[in-house]
Amino acid sequence: MADDGYFIGVDLGGTSILAAAVRQGNVLVEEKKKTRPEQGPDAVVERVEAVIRKVLDEAEDEGPAEAVCIGAPGAVDRTSGVVRRAPNLGWENFPLGEHLEKRLGLPVIVDNDVNVGVVGEHVHGAGRGALHVAAIFVGTGVGGGLVVNGLPVDGFRGAAGEFGHIVVKPQGRLCPCGREGCVEAYSSKTAMEAMVREKIDEGRQSIVLDVMRDKDKDGLTSSVIEKALEEKDEVMGEVVRTAQYYLGLLTADVVNAFDPEVIVFGGGVVERLAESFVNPIALTAREHFLRREGAERIRIVPAALGDHAGTIGAAVVAQRSPHRFAG
């Protein structure tokens, strides 16, 4: 048995829940479940609890679990553990931390999912050693996070880094947040699926829906995107290029506003497609950098931790949090 304990990091996404027992950046065990947000917040909490308990059971020889951190999609009040607004879960002002602390009997910290992802990449991944890091994660939605002078930026209301809701096309596509023209409305998996279906409805030929059916997928997944691109599906190619273009504009905006050393791209799409997805984004971004001097030193790279960025980052946040020492 290990002498010291470990921390539970949970990446709560609109599609799946990934939980891991983590010690010093190393994943000891992990478990995954579908999120199923359509069943309501109480059902999602039950699923989060179930996946955490399975991790606890499998890690019982690793010492005690000291605390849990949940990375949730949307605006979070870290002090109260309340998820203020999570469009991809359909939540508003939901006290996630309180519910889970009662169920688990452990300190529970709630943070934004991409904030913890950027912490993971900064401490243990692609941003290691850099003082200024921005992260953009592409999945069911598009999220962002910032590290400035070595510290994560939460913002006045805990809502810093909502890069996915920067408007890149006024009066553009409707975003799940209710506004028009956000990056998320063009570059998330949800948006890409919607655009593919629209083109098929317009009479375009595409194998995407056939691939989804063959893979027994309810929606557009990273593996479906990869397969369609491998088969040179024109519709999928056009949609991905659109997503990359708007992510490139977003990246330039982030660089022009914050001047980070490293921009890390993560999430399921990036994990699957890696440099082939990120490199075109970087090319567009560099065309729109305001300051050219030294721009070649800015790195735009895929995440190094892959699917583990969120869980490892959440574990780091749990370890750093004074909340776990409260009586």
Site of tokens 């889970």: 100
- Supply the CATH number for residue 315's domain: 3.30.420.40
Average per-residue pLDDT for the chain: 92
Q: CA 86 to CA 14: how far, in whole Å?
A: 9
Q: pLDDT-derived band of residue 139, with 50, 70 and 90 as boundaries?
A: confident
Contact 302, 276 (CB under 8 A): no
Q: Are 130 and 122 in contact (CB under 8 A)?
A: yes
In angstroms, rounded to a whole number, what is the distance separating the alpha carbons of residues 144 and 139?
A: 11
102 lies in some domain: yes
The structural domain count of the chain equals 2
Q: Is residue 282 part of a domain?
A: yes
E runs forming strands in the chain: 6-12, 16-23, 26-34, 65-72, 75-77, 82-86, 91-94, 108-112, 133-138, 142-148, 151-152, 262-266, 299-302
pLDDT at residue 3 tops 80: no
Strands 75-77 and 108-112: unpaired
Give the Cα separation of 230 and 234 in Å (integer). 11
- What pLDDT digit, counting tens, does each position of 150-174 carry? 998 888 877 788 899 999 999 999 9
- Identify whether residues 25 and 95 lie together within a single domain: yes
Which SS3 state, helix, strand or coil, does residue 122 take? Answer: helix
In a domain, 200, yes or no: yes
pTM assigned to the model:
0.83
The per-residue pLDDT for range 101-110, each reduced to its tens digit, is 999 999 999 9
Q: pLDDT tens, 176-200? A: 889 999 999 999 999 999 999 999 9
Measured CA to CA, the distance from residue 190 to residue 143 in angstroms comes to 13
**Are residue 22 and residue 110 in the same domain, yes or no?**
yes
pLDDT at 42 over 70: yes
Shared domain check, 188 and 219? yes
- Does pLDDT of 2 surpass 90? no
| pLDDT tens, position by position, 230-246 | 999 999 999 999 999 99
Number of neighbouring beta carbons within 10 Å of residue 135? 34
Q: Is the pLDDT of residue 1 over 50?
A: no
pLDDT value at residue 169? 96
pLDDT of 223 strictly over 70: yes
pLDDT at 259 > cutoff 90: yes
Compute the distance between CA of residue 291 and CA of residue 28 in angstroms, rounded to an integer.
Answer: 43
Q: What are phi and psi of 283, to 5 degrees?
A: -60, -45
Say whether both 270 and 134 belong to one domain: yes
Looking at the domain assignment, is residue 294 inside a domain?
Answer: yes
- For the chain, the C-alpha Rg in angstroms (whole number) is 19
Task: Fill in the amino acid letter for 271.
Answer: E
276 and 157 in a single domain? The answer is yes
What is d(CA 58, CA 178) in angstroms, rounded to the nearest whole number? Answer: 41
One DSSP character per residue, 219-283 reads S--HHHHHHHHHTT-HHHHHHHHHHHHHHHHHHHHHHHHH--SEEEEESHHHHHHTHHHHHHHHH
- 123 part of a folded domain: no
Contact 301, 265 (CB under 8 A): yes
